[in-house]
Amino acid sequence: MSTFDPGFLWGAATSSYQIEGAVAEDGRGPSIWDTFAATPGAVRGGDTGAVAADHYHRFPEDIALMSQLGLRAYRFSLAWPRIQPTGSGPVNQRGLDFYRRLTDTLLDHGIQPWPTLYHWDLPQPLEDAGGWPVRDTAERFAEYAALTHDALGDRITHWTTLNEPWCSAFLGYATGRHAPGRREPAAAVRAAHHLLLAHGLAAEAIRDDDSHVGITLNLTHVTPLTTEPADLDAARRVDGMQNRLFLDPLLRGAYPDDVLDDLREVTGTGHIQDGDLKRIGAPLDHLGINYYAPTLVAGSTAPVQSAYVGSPLVRVADGGRPKTAMGWEIDDKGLLALLLRLKADYPAVPLYITENGAAFDDVVERDGVAGVAGAVHGAVREVVHDADRIAYLDGHLRSCARAIGQGVPLKGYFVWSLLDNFEWSFGYGPRFGIVHVDYATQRRTAKDSAHWYAEVIRRGGL
């Protein structure tokens, strides 16, 4: 057990706004995250992505590190506002050139570039014109995808359209916890559809004989607190909103009827046009899954404001398991259950875990002994003994191995994240990296988990 196929794709993931910095350089336009982060109270500590991990300038060093770790693939995202600063019109050559250099450097090191076209940094002018609740944004996205594919398609084979459209729609437009910070549930439902449409249109625009096109969803394993009808209904609704609202149109070409019924009063179905579902449901070359935690839910007697639009009588319950620094419950069995459920309920498509990982309160220690592991600065070696992260990753990889053993077509795994980074509305507090970043000096230090992961890759398993 726990030996993976030799072709299994071992990688690590990041995203543009979370690591690049250089937000005003080389013609990049503002994104909704620049605007949101500048809004008082939106991000903890007033943190912004203005500098982040300075990857824009340090990518050669970061890629050298990836190479030392033996990564086979690197999942990153392309910042739309670097490539098309206003979200429409001509490309910004300097923005494209950055991704050309990045991609070429990866290829020089034998690391497969695995870009995502959209990881939440919408050009601000498109939000000013209405954002994702407006259908035109989907058309603009397809245009951006086509331009980018034209420019980089000679060196990139695997494309992901969107990262976690659930977050873009429901955290961006319903709870307002993410950019653009709107609290308009009906708009959020329209946003979800237009994001799916954007995926469909973009996939159509970039698919050719050399391109594999997929999408990444944040899926969860939902269980009811008890078998009481209210809890069962809560589980149906949360599974509906977070999993099936996206999986069904993508993999079966239709929205789930029960979810449409739940949403009918919120926003109707007028925004869904003839032909949309055919486009959204065109065959995928791969499906990316981001998995962090399971979701235990219960019915509520009083209305609860949540991301589960149309389902006010639903609350998330505590399963009593140990938690990460995000307060997310640790449950690798949830990942196994999710993968087996995908196999049972949906047509087979190559699957990749495109994010999995954990934030913990890491401590940098200096042990004064120079050695091969850890970063050596002068005579002092800095180390981060993140045994909790190793245990998390180990458990989830075991679930991956079990799923593969039971016939799940899982082809790769990307740890979130390569580097500590800007964790959205939580700012720089939570550290998800297998590589520690000292934000004051931008010094990188491989944590124990990075060395452990390198060994897993080297052996091809646990």
Binding residues vs ligand FCB (CB under 6 A)? 15, 18, 163-164, 167, 218, 290, 355, 416, 423-424, 432
* Cβ pair 405, 3 in contact under 8 A: no
Residue with Cβ nearer ligand FCB (19 or 205): 19
Residue with Cβ nearer ligand FCB (18 or 242): 18
58 CB neighbour count, 10 Å cutoff: 19
Q: Is 152 left (phi over 0), alpha (psi -120 to 50) or beta?
A: alpha
- Tell me which of 20, 127, 329, 355 is the catalytic residue: 355
Residue with Cβ nearer ligand FCB (121 or 248): 121
- Tell me which of 164, 329, 382, 423 is the catalytic residue: 164
State yes or no: is 164 an active-site residue. yes
> What DSSP element (H or E) covers 142?
helix 136-152
Taking the complex as a whole, the smallest distance from the CB of residue 14 to ligand FCB amounts, in Å, to 8
The CA angle 120-351-100, to the nearest 5 degrees, is 50
- Rounded CA gap, 224 and 236, in Å? 9
Residue with tokens 């990444």: 216
Residue with Cβ nearer ligand FCB (355 or 382): 355
Residue type, 33: W
Residue with Cβ nearer ligand FCB (240 or 288): 288
CA 86 to chain centre: 23
Sign of the C-alpha dihedral, residues 330, 351, 137, 49? positive
* Cβ pair 134, 180 in contact under 8 A: no
Taking the complex as a whole, the smallest distance from the CB of residue 435 to ligand FCB amounts, in Å, to 15
Taking the complex as a whole, the smallest distance from the CB of residue 321 to ligand FCB amounts, in Å, to 18
Give me the residues paired with residue 159 across strands: 213
Taking the complex as a whole, the smallest distance from the CB of residue 158 to ligand FCB amounts, in Å, to 18
Residue 103 in tokens: 């991609």
Taking the complex as a whole, the smallest distance from the CB of residue 38 to ligand FCB amounts, in Å, to 19
Give me the residues paired with residue 461 across strands: 3
DSSP assignment string, 212-254? EEEEEEE---EEESSSSHHHHHHHHHHHIIIIIHHHHHHHHSS
- Rounded CA gap, 287 and 348, in Å? 10
Taking the complex as a whole, the smallest distance from the CB of residue 12 to ligand FCB amounts, in Å, to 12
Residue with Cβ nearer ligand FCB (195 or 404): 195
* Cβ pair 120, 168 in contact under 8 A: yes
Taking the complex as a whole, the smallest distance from the CB of residue 423 to ligand FCB amounts, in Å, to 5
Residue with Cβ nearer ligand FCB (144 or 291): 291
Query: Which residues lie closer than 8 Å to 134 by C-beta, 6 or more apart?
Result: 190, 194
Residue with tokens 């839910």: 297
Active-site residue set: 164, 355
